[in-house]
Amino acid sequence: MTTLFDSLKLGDLTLPNRLVMAPLTRMRSRQPGNIPHSLNATYYAQRATAGLIVSEATQVSQQGQGYPATPGIHTAEQTAGWRLVTDAVHQAGGRIFLQLWHVGRISHTSHQPDGGLPVAPSAITPSGGTFSADWKQVAFETPRALELDEIPGIVEDFRHGAQNAKDAGFDGVEVHGANGYLLDQFLQDGSNQRGDSYGGSIENRARLLLEIVDAAIEIWGAGRVGVRLSPFGTFNDMHDSDPIALFTYVLQQLSVRGVAYVHLIEPRSSAAGSMDKVIEDAPDTAQLFRQAFTGTLISAGGYTADSAKLAVADGQADAIAFGRLFIANPDLVERVRAGAALNAYDRATFYGGDKKGYTDYPSLAKSV
Ligand SMILES: Cc1cc2nc3c(=O)[nH]c(=O)nc-3n(C[C@H](O)[C@H](O)[C@H](O)COP(=O)(O)O)c2cc1C
**Residue by residue, what is the 3-state secondary structure of 173-217?**
EEEECCCCCHHHHHHCCCCCCCCCCCCCCHHHHHHHHHHHHHHHH
In the prediction, which pLDDT does 287 show? 82
Mean pLDDT of the chain: 95
For residue range 106-120, what is the model confidence (pLDDT) as tens digits? Answer: 999 999 999 999 999
In the prediction, which pLDDT does 281 show? 58
Separation CA 336–CA 4 (nearest Å): 9
Q: Residue 269: how many CA atoms within 13 Å on its side-chain side?
A: 16
Q: Please give the average per-residue pLDDT across 312-327, as a whole number.
A: 97
Lowest-confidence region among 81-90, 227-236, 269-278, 341-350: 269-278
Got the DSSP string for 223-246? GGEEEEE-TT--TTT---S-HHHH
CA 301 to chain centre: 12
For residue range 52-61, what is the model confidence (pLDDT) as tens digits? Answer: 999 999 999 9
Ligand 1 pocket member 303 (CB < 6 A): yes
Single out the residue of 22, 6, 9 nearest to residue 266, CA to CA. 22
Centre of ligand 1 from the C-alpha of residue 23, in Å: 6
324 Cα nearest atom in ligand 1: 27
Single out the residue of 193, 267, 189 nearest to residue 235, CA to CA. 267
Separation CA 314–CA 294 (nearest Å): 16
Single out the residue of 85, 93, 98 nearest to residue 166, CA to CA. 98
Which of the pair, 37 or 291, is modelled with greater confidence?
Answer: 37
Ligand 1 pocket member 57 (CB < 6 A): yes
Centre of ligand 1 from the C-alpha of residue 204, in Å: 28
In the prediction, which pLDDT does 321 show? 98
Single out the residue of 282, 182, 265, 278 nearest to residue 228, CA to CA. 265
Ligand 1 pocket member 289 (CB < 6 A): no
For residue range 238-259, what is the model confidence (pLDDT) as tens digits? Answer: 999 999 999 999 999 999 999 9
Hey, how many other C-beta atoms are within 10 angstroms of the C-beta on 28? Answer: 23
Burial class of residue 39 in the structure, from the number of CB atoms within 10 Å of its CB (0-12 exposed, 13-18 middle, 19+ buried): middle
Is 351 known to be catalytic? no
In the prediction, which pLDDT does 284 show? 83
In the prediction, which pLDDT does 194 show? 98
* Terminal C-alpha separation, the chain: 33
Separation CA 51–CA 94 (nearest Å): 7
Name residues whose C-beta falls within 8 Å of residue 224's C-beta, 6 or more positions apart in sequence: 11, 12, 13, 97, 171, 172, 173, 260
In this predicted structure, the answer to whether residue 341 has a pLDDT above a threshold of 50 is: yes
In this predicted structure, the answer to whether residue 121 has a pLDDT above a threshold of 90 is: yes
Centre of ligand 1 from the C-alpha of residue 295, in Å: 22
Q: Which residue blocks in the chain are alpha helix, DSSP H?
A: 38-46, 76-91, 151-167, 182-187, 202-220, 243-257, 285-289, 305-313, 324-328, 332-338, 364-367
350 Cα nearest atom in ligand 1: 1
In the prediction, which pLDDT does 253 show? 98
The CATH architecture that domain 8-367 belongs to is: Alpha-Beta Barrel (3.20)
Q: Percent of the chain having pLDDT more than 90?
A: 90
In the prediction, which pLDDT does 248 show? 97
- Active-site option among 67, 181, 249, 358: 181
Single out the residue of 52, 54, 56 nearest to residue 29, CA to CA. 56
Centre of ligand 1 from the C-alpha of residue 24, in Å: 5
Q: Residue 183: how many CA atoms within 13 Å on its side-chain side?
A: 30
In this predicted structure, the answer to whether residue 271 has a pLDDT above a threshold of 60 is: no
Classified as helix, coil or strand, 297 is strand
Does this model's pTM top 0.85? My answer is yes
Grade residue 285 by pLDDT with cuts at 50, 70 and 90: confident
Supply the residue whose CA is at minimum distance from atom 6 of ligand 1: 24
Burial class of residue 332 in the structure, from the number of CB atoms within 10 Å of its CB (0-12 exposed, 13-18 middle, 19+ buried): buried
Q: Which of 19, 25, 299 to mutate to test the pocket of ligand 1 (most atoms within 8 A of CB)?
A: 25
Let me know how many helices (H) and strands (E) the chain has, helices first: 11, 14
- β-bridge pairing 319-322 and 297-300: parallel
E strand or H helix that includes residue 293: none
